Structure 1
Amino acid sequence: MQLISALDEALSTLEISSDEFSELVIRLLDYGVINRDESQIEQQLYDRYLQCTELVEEYLSVLKVRLQHDRQFSFLRVFPPGSEVPGMPDQDNGAFNSGFRTRPNQQEVAVILALRVEYEKALREGQVDEKGQVMLPVEGLAIAMKNLLKRSLPDNQGERKTLFKRLRQLRLVHFNAEMDLDSAESWLSIQPAITSYVNDDVLTQLYPPSEKSSDTAEPAGDAHVL
């Protein structure tokens, strides 16, 4: 009760209700990410986080949940206890190996790795827009997966839609919901949050800094993807 009272008192000074605070934290824990550019709702939640940053971080620290805030591209991402987070020191907490969010399956891991490599290529070639986004045709992603991992996108359109919907939920890609994913003319927007989802060691194996093109590699396991 003392914790709740202290939280309510701190929120009152910020003119944020306990329901608004709960909405923000629940959304973070449920989706795992809030991207200000994604929607009006996430814009409001992100701006609310800026008002009560310390309270959110203290609240999550009690749960040992790690939070990454990318100020440049205005997104938040939470990680389960013990996760490796780019730009943050490792936690000495090996007892936690499973998170509160669903881990990507092997198909999703393969696509995420290919997306990360294509994003890195665009970075090196200066083909990133002011919001940190990279445009990539679906056909280009399919080619990258074959070249890098000898894998293919799902042939079934329903499975393909489910896959891309999952990646969009993770705020790794953005696309028109009405897009024909079987069309060679369809395009995805790779989001800057992709950089926080693949370890640098894995990226280096797939796309060494000294090379302009990636070597063929076997898909990494879930442990390599945050």
Structure 2
Amino acid sequence: MREALQARLAERGVSSAEFSDLMIRLLDRGVLCRDESKREAELYDRFLQVRELVEDYLAVLRIRLLHEPRFNLLRVFPPGAEVPGLPDTEDDSHALRQRLSQQEVALILVLRAEYDKSLREGQLDEHGQALLSLEALNLSMRNLLGRSLPETATERQALLRRLRQLRLIRSPAEMDTDSEEAWLTIRPGIISLVTDTALAQLAPQAAEQPEDQPEYETP
């Protein structure tokens, strides 16, 4: 099997070490986005050279791969995961599922809702990204889920750092999360992580919030 893989890689001008680097990075991070860095651009382009080999390799592990060419994005999902754009499977394995905290899940859901809002209003930039202030994000969390961002700056920084690692947002590493002038960018890859079903569950919760909550417009 190893010899057959090496032969197929050689046909495409990719070494075993280069293929290994690609797979290790993809499985370790769970996501690969071409515009994230020069390194990820190289790995993404390498994936395009050996796409079917990557898919075959992951299929043996029952790991699901979502490729979104419009965003130059790759994301892997554990067996049995619900993946927007891919058919459901009967596999109920949880061994490889990425554990997210309740705060992370809540923020991701709200960011997806805000992204859809910007999409409907035609406020995405040329890269399909949405700009959102932390003030508006915090208000949206209260309106939709009845909760707020973490109280301390350290906790807020850690939360945003986690979402940057998942390639869901862009924000300065040293953002002043206490400032009303702080902004972040929601990346289009969030669509591949939050299903429409999960997003729809926010609607009843939002309806239960008091009607005198102030409304806001994203920039």
Length-normalised TM-score, structure 1: 0.88
Instruction: Tell me which residue corresponds to 1:111.
Output: 107
- Higher mean alpha-carbon deviation, 174-183 vs 23-32, is at 174-183
Count of residues in Structure 1 that have an aligned counterpart in Structure 2: 208
Instruction: Tell me which residue corresponds to 1:14.
Output: 12
- Deviation for aligned residue 1:99: 4.0
Mapped partners of 1:175, 1:206: distance in 2: 25
- Deviation for aligned residue 1:92: 2.1
Mapped partners of 1:138, 1:149: distance in 2: 16
Contact 2:168–2:189 (8 Å) recurs in 1: yes
Instruction: Tell me which residue corresponds to 1:37.
Output: 35
Instruction: Tell me which residue corresponds to 1:77.
Output: 75
Unaligned runs of 5+ in 1: 209-213, 218-226
Instruction: Tell me which residue corresponds to 2:153.
Output: 157
Give the percent of matched residue pairs that are identical in Structure 1 and Structure 2.
55
C-alpha distance 164-74 of structure 1, shift in aligned 2 (>3 A): same
CA deviation vs aligned residue, 1:60-81 (integer Å, no higher than 9, x gap): 0000000000011110000001
CA deviation vs aligned residue, 1:109-131 (integer Å, no higher than 9, x gap): 11011101100100100111121
Query: Aligned letter for 1:110?
Result: A
- Deviation for aligned residue 1:9: 0.6
Contact 1:114–1:144 (8 Å) recurs in 2: yes
Tell me the secondary structure at the aligned position of residue 69 of structure 1: strand
Tell me the secondary structure at the aligned position of residue 34 of structure 1: strand
Does residue 5 of the first structure (1) align with residue 11 of the second (2)?
no
Query: Aligned letter for 2:23?
Result: V
Contact 1:147–1:216 (8 Å) recurs in 2: no
**Which residue, 105, 118, 123 being the options, matches 2:119?**
123
Runs of 4+ that moved beyond 3 A: none
Instruction: Tell me which residue corresponds to 1:192.
Output: 188
CA deviation vs aligned residue, 1:181-218 (integer Å, no higher than 9, x gap): 2211111110111111112112123249xxxxx5347x
Mapped partners of 1:205, 1:49: distance in 2: 35
Mapped partners of 1:203, 1:9: distance in 2: 45
Mapped partners of 2:164, 2:208: distance in 1: 26
Contact 1:175–1:189 (8 Å) recurs in 2: yes
Tell me the secondary structure at the aligned position of residue 114 of structure 2: helix
Contact 1:117–1:207 (8 Å) recurs in 2: no
- Deviation for aligned residue 1:19: 0.9
Instruction: Tell me which residue corresponds to 1:215.
Output: 207
Mapped partners of 1:108, 1:18: distance in 2: 36
Unaligned runs of 5+ in 2: 210-219
Contact 1:149–1:216 (8 Å) recurs in 2: no
Aligned alpha-carbon RMSD (Å): 1.4
Mapped partners of 1:40, 1:100: distance in 2: 28
**Which residue, 141, 145, 151 being the options, matches 1:145?**
141
Query: Aligned letter for 1:156?
Result: T
**Which residue, 118, 131, 134 being the options, matches 1:135?**
131
Mapped partners of 2:23, 2:203: distance in 1: 36
Contact 1:153–1:160 (8 Å) recurs in 2: yes
Length-normalised TM-score, structure 2: 0.91
**Which residue, 49, 52, 55 being the options, matches 1:51?**
49
Tell me the secondary structure at the aligned position of residue 24 of structure 1: helix
